[in-house]
């Protein structure tokens, strides 16, 4: 396989990463995560609202048709869902909005976890904020700051299955789950995606990635490029020399190589990098055109295995 160079004066579009069938919807594998649109807790000031709207509109112009969001993505003055609604309505016919329920945040920013009977209210809140009559995909985000060992998912996922039957939700997924919890959800209703933390140096869910592939379920890693806090992905300095070498060979950045590595894990693996910066948006989308050689993939795999 020849080495690709992704430096170009013309921006890459999201279809360069290929497509995946998410339920009955075809989406480009390179999507967009809305969490960073509002700004992060450590930011000195909120992100500029006009910039956030511009990033969303530019993402769609560049072929992004899968956006991940949640009603609990908000700051004191910004809401990701409201920004999406403002920027993109009327929504393109091919746009798939994926949201999450389970966690809720109080006005003080504290997280609470919904009981099964409260999930309908969360679904309806997302519907109102996004200005739609139903949700394309809803992920049950399991646990809040307590890891994945939160007990059975049956009652919560069963409640979402009832909302799907009622027409409020089209497709269901799960997030932050173990293999056993995924299998439990699958026994209740079809699961179209799993959204778990995973990346080059964060490999605890390698087996889950393979399980999803065998069952035709999309695996959607979050924090594939960076962690929740600045520099978290680089906290142990793992694989920096290898990342730099591969990046240089492709005219890419280490962050782009991380995204490309995730996409190379399988055609069922999607990417949802988020940013509030237009230049970073184009760089993220360009990563979808990066084709790693077998030797490069093996080199990066060994880095990740050593870090896990």
Catalytically active residues are: 73
HSE of 131, CA atoms in CB hemisphere, 13 A: 12
Look up residue 128 and give its two tokens.
């109102």
Return d(Cα 217, Cα 175) in angstroms, integer.
13
Return d(Cα 269, Cα 253) in angstroms, integer.
21
Instruction: Indicate if the alpha-carbon torsion angle 104, 130, 80, 203 is positive or negative.
Output: positive
What 3-state DSSP class applies to 13? coil
Return d(Cα 239, Cα 305) in angstroms, integer.
10
Task: Say if residues 112 and 119 touch (Cβ distance below 8 Å).
Answer: no
Q: Counting every residue, how long is the chain?
A: 308
Q: Which are the contacts of 302, defined by CB distance < 8 A and separation ≥ 6?
A: none
**CA–CA distance from 93 to each of 27, 60, 66, 136, 292 (Å)?**
11, 12, 12, 12, 32
Maximum Cα–Cα distance for the chain, whole Å? 54
């Amino acid at each position: 396989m020849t080495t690709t160079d992704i430096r170009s004066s013309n921006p890459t579009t999201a279809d360069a990463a290929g497509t995946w069938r998410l339920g009955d919807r075809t989406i480009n594998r390179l999507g967009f995560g809305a969490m960073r649109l509002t700004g992060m807790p450590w930011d000195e000031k909120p992100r500029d609202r006009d910039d956030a709207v511009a990033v969303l509109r530019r993402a769609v112009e560049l072929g992004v048709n899968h956006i991940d969001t949640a009603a609990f993505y908000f700051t004191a003055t910004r809401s990701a869902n409201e920004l999406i609604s403002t920027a993109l309505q009327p929504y393109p016919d091919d746009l798939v909005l994926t949201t999450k329920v389970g966690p809720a945040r109080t006005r003080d920013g504290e997280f609470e976890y919904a009981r099964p009977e409260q999930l309908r209210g969360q679904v309806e809140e997302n519907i109102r904020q996004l200005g739609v009559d139903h949700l394309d995909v809803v992920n049950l985000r399991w646990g809040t700051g307590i890891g994945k060992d939160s007990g059975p998912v049956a009652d919560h996922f069963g409640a979402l299955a009832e909302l799907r039957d009622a027409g409020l939700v089209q497709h269901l997924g799960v997030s932050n789950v173990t293999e056993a919890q995924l299998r439990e959800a699958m026994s209740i209703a079809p699961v179209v995606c799993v959204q778990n933390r995973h990346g080059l140096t964060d490999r605890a869910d390698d087996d889950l990635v393979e399980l999803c592939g065998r069952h035709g379920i999309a695996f959607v890693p979050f924090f594939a490029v960076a962690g929740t806090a600045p520099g978290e992905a680089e906290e142990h300095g793992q694989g920096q020399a290898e990342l730099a070498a591969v990046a240089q060979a492709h005219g890419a950045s280490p962050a782009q190589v991380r995204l490309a590595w995730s996409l190379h894990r399988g055609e069922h693996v999607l990417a949802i990098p988020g940013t509030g910066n237009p230049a970073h948006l184009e760089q993220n989308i360009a990563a979808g055109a990066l084709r790693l050689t077998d030797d490069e993939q093996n080199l990066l795999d060994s880095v990740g295995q050593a870090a896990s």
